[in-house]
Amino acid sequence: VVIEAQGPAAAIGRFGKRLRAEAPPLAAIHEIASVLLPPAPGEGFVIDASRPQAGATTAVPPDVALCAGCRREVRDPADRRFGYPFTNCTNCGPRWTIIESLPYDRPRTSMAAFTMCAACRAEYEDPGDRRFHAQPNACPACGPRAWLCGEDGLGRVDDRPLAAAAEALAKGLIVAVRGLGGFHLAVRADDDEAVARLRRRKHRAAKPLAVMVADVAAARAVADVTPGEEAVLNSPAAPIVLLAIRIRAPRSRLPWRRATAASA
Ligand SMILES: [Zn+2]
Ligand SMILES: [Zn+2]
């Protein structure tokens, strides 16, 4: 990132300090190098268009798990993003999997096909907003939508895709969730018959499957979670974490069944 800042020396000095101290959650400042430039005309705050440079080595940003702010909005019936599965902001959301080329700007992502509505555009252009220059910014009015297909993979079988998928899971069916990076096969972890069916179809007789839980409190019901593991689970990367098993699934007999289940 190249920043051109001008003003009294003391203000520029404060800016340099705050740049590190108040960087947004996902910022990773490896190094700051500064040079003095002659004063130039212009005022206000502007983000210039990215200029691709030959030989530029910009790291491709990773996908980031839903942040607390977006989680609140998705759960708030009064919010315009209530229940919207593609909610994101500058603190969270897809990056790696939607980028087609660098530098990372919306026209070079799979979000190029979606034109922001007036409300999203206003957020995108407001330096005080959490979604200022959030490239995949979207809402139910302008962004991608979820739908549910039947077993043939065709057509929309229900107009409440998330609720219907949850009902299917509850019934013991396998649901293929097309996520950011491909298909994610999900099944009830506490349904031995359903898990066995998934294992048969996946030809994964014994390899552990990741268990999805709603939060760390739910994870504690099935596994021991150390403070370090909790921090990693709640981190922006939100990786799959190997935990020490705490309970034995009631109807399981085989050792690998006890320690596993759920998703692939
Ligand atoms: Zn967010
Ligand atoms: Zn929108």
pLDDT in tens, 108-167: 888 999 999 999 999 999 988 999 989 999 999 999 999 999 888 777 777 889 999 999
Q: Do 186 and 213 contact (CB within 8 A), yes or no?
A: no
Task: Kindly give the distance from the C-alpha atom of residue 47 to the centroid of ligand 2, in angstroms, as a whole number.
Answer: 21
* pLDDT at 27 (0 to 100): 82
Q: Which ligand is nearest to the CA of 117?
A: 2
| Section 43-54 average pLDDT | 76
Exposure on the CB side of residue 157, measured as CA atoms within 13 A: 12
Six-digit token string for 114:
């979606």
State pLDDT tens for residues 168-223.
999 999 999 987 667 889 999 989 999 999 999 999 888 889 999 888 999 998 89
Lowest mean pLDDT among 71-75, 80-84, 99-103, 221-225: 99-103
Q: Which ligand is nearest to the CA of 120?
A: 2
**β-sheet bridge partners, residue 178:** 183
Q: Please name the residue that has the structure tokens 């990367």.
A: 237
Task: Kindly give the distance from the C-alpha atom of residue 22 to the centroid of ligand 1, in angstroms, as a whole number.
Answer: 17
Q: Do 175 and 188 contact (CB within 8 A), yes or no?
A: no
* pLDDT at 263 (0 to 100): 42
Q: Which ligand is nearest to the CA of 138?
A: 2
* Amino acid in position 168: A
166 CB neighbour count, 10 Å cutoff: 12
pLDDT of 53 strictly over 90: no
Task: Kindly give the distance from the C-alpha atom of residue 132 to the centroid of ligand 1, in angstroms, as a whole number.
Answer: 12
- Quickly state the pLDDT bin for 57 (edges 50, 70, 90): low
Q: Which ligand is nearest to the CA of 142?
A: 2
Task: Kindly give the distance from the C-alpha atom of residue 72 to the centroid of ligand 1, in angstroms, as a whole number.
Answer: 9
Closest CA to 185 of 209, 149, 159: 209
Task: Kindly give the distance from the C-alpha atom of residue 195 to the centroid of ligand 1, in angstroms, as a whole number.
Answer: 32
Task: Kindly give the distance from the C-alpha atom of residue 134 to the centroid of ligand 2, in angstroms, as a whole number.
Answer: 12
Question: pTM of the full predicted structure?
Answer: 0.75
- Percent of the residues in the chain that have a pLDDT greater than 70, as a whole number: 90
- Quickly state the pLDDT bin for 251 (edges 50, 70, 90): very low
3-state secondary structure of 227: helix
The residues, any chain, with a CB within 8 Å of residue 45's CB and separated by 6 or more, are 127
| Dist CA 125 CA 192 (whole Å) | 50
Task: Kindly give the distance from the C-alpha atom of residue 233 to the centroid of ligand 2, in angstroms, as a whole number.
Answer: 30
Task: Kindly give the distance from the C-alpha atom of residue 84 to the centroid of ligand 1, in angstroms, as a whole number.
Answer: 12
Q: Which long-range contacts (CB under 8 A, 24 or more apart) does 130-133 make?
A: 130/69, 130/89, 130/90, 130/91, 131/89, 131/90, 132/90, 133/47, 133/90
| Dist CA 264 CA 32 (whole Å) | 42
